Amino acid sequence: MAPSHALRCCKRALNWIPVLFINLVVGWSYYAYVVELCVYTILNNAERISYLVIFHIFFAMFIWSYWKTIWSKPASPSKAFGLPRAEKELFEREERAETQQEILKKVAKNLPVYTRTAGGAVRYCDHCQVIKPDRCHHCSTCEMCVLKMDHHCPWVNNCVGFSNYKYFVLFLAYAALYCVVICATVIQYFLKFWTKQLPDTHAKFHILFLFFVAALFFISVLSLLSYHLWLVGKNRTTIEAFRAPVFTNGPDKNGFSLGFKRNAAEVFGDQGKYWMFPVSSGLGDGHSFVTRLVHIDPERANGILQQNGKSSADGKPDPCVHGNNIQHTADSSKGNIEGGQTDSVKVENEQ
C-alpha cells in the first residue's frame, strides 16, 4: 500500500511539469517584454505606455482563462446515475453479462440517457459505479468520470470537459492573441537588432528570442484553436470526432449538432456579453443534451432527475431541432425498446 501511494504521489507531482514549463515560459516572456523591451529598449514614452497597456490587457485575459482551465474541477455524474441499493446488490452478485445489462437497462430507462456502447449496451463505469450520462467518459488520469469529456490536457494538468471547455477555448484564443501582440510590437526592434541598427546590449538576446518563441507558439496554438472552434461549430468533442456517439438507432457523428448558433450557445451561452470572459455562461448541466434525433422533454428529464435526487437542468429545449436538412419532432408517445423507455421520433423532410 505504501509504495503504491508513494508512486501515485510521484505521478501527480510529475503531471505538473508541463504546467510549470508553460508558466516559466510565460514568466520569462513577461520579463523580456516589460523590462528588456519597454524599459531598456523603447525610448519614446508614448510608445512605451501604449505597448504596456495593450500587452497587459491580453496578458491578463490569457492568464485568467489559463488558470480557470487548470483549477476548474471536472464535473462528474450526480448520484442520480448511480445504481439504487437493491439493483446494485443484484448487479454485483450477478456474473452473467446479459443479466447485468438487463439490470442496467431497467435503471437507465428512468434516466435521460440515449447513447450506448458500440455493441448497443448501456454505458456503465465499473470504476465509478455509475451509468454514464451521454457524452461522459472515464479519465484514467483523473480517476473519475467526466461530464462531456473532451480530452485530458497535460498542459493544464486537468480534464477538459463540460465544466471548463469554454475556458480552454478562450485560453487558446488569448494565447494566440498574446503571441500576436508580442510579434506585432517586437518586430521593428527585432529587425533593428538583426540589422545592427541598434547596439548590442543585454536586451538583444531577449528580444530576438522573444520574437521567435512567440511566432512558433502562435503557429502551434492557432492550429489547435482552429480545430476546437470547428468542434464547437459541429457540437462535437475530440472523442466524438474520432469515434461517433452511438444511439439506439446506430452511430451518428452529428447526433448532438443543433446548428451553428445553438452549438456555439451550448458552450459560450446565449448572452454575447459573456462570451469573451472566462466565466460560466454555457447552457445545460452536462447530464443531458438535446440531440438531432431524440428530443428530451424538459419536464420529463427534470422530473426523472429530481426523483433520483438531482436538481433540474437549466434551460428549455425547443420543440423541434433542425439538422442536416431534416426536421426531427418528438411527440409525447413512448415505446419500449429492449426493456428501455424511449421517446418516439417523427421525421419529416424539409421543403
Closest alpha carbon to 284 in 273, 271, 298, 294: 298
Q: Is 153 a catalytic residue?
A: yes
Active site residue: 136, 139, 145, 153, which one? 153
- Answer whether 162's CB lies under 8 Å from 286's CB: yes
- Tell me the β-bridge partners of 342: 335
CB 103 within 8 A of CB 121: no
C-alpha cell at 113: 440517457
**How would you classify the pairing of strands 115-116 and 246-247?**
antiparallel
Tell me how crowded residue 259 is: count the other CB atoms within 10 A of its CB.
15
Helix (H, G, I), strand (E, B) or coil at 327: strand
Residues counted in the chain: 351
**Please, which residues bridge with residue 279 across strands?**
none
The three cell numbers locating residue 207: 528580444
Enumerate the β-bridge partners of residue 247.
115, 250
**Which residue in the block uniquely carries the three cell numbers 452511438?**
246
Q: Is residue 219 classed exposed, middle or buried when 0-12, 13-18 and 19+ CB atoms within 10 A define those classes?
A: exposed
Catalytic residue positions?
A: 153
